[in-house]
Amino acid sequence: MLACLSDDAVVIDPHYPKPTMRHLGFPIVSYFEAANGTKAAVEVATSHVLAAGGMKLAFPQVFVIEARDGRITRLRAYTPYGPLGVGGVFLALTRLRRRMGW
């Protein structure tokens, strides 16, 4: 992965600020690339194993990639979290209501 990055690459992924994973898995679900090869989006079925305790994590994730001269210049990860704050509370209550059949 590092060999694919340009010397001035920007990687934005708040999930991995320090090495906490025993195993990283990013099986590709979908891949889209601009005709000129400078931008791409990759949907993955992320599957990791934590170093401490071996807990397995599985969630969908999307990476948006920008490239120049065949090397990645920007990589940003997006994970489908629900809204935070009051909006998140209402979403959680709505989901609970549906599950409970209210």
For tokens 């679900």, name the residue: 29
CA–CA distance, 36 with 39 (Å, rounded to integer)? 8
* Closest to 67 in 3D by CA, of 1, 4, 2, 14: 4
pTM of this prediction? Answer: 0.66
Domains and CATH numbers, the chain: 2-100 (3.10.450.50)
Question: Residues with Cβ < 8 Å from 68, sequence gap 6 or more?
Answer: 6, 38
pLDDT tens, 45-100?
988 888 888 888 888 899 999 999 989 999 998 887 766 667 667 777 777 888 88
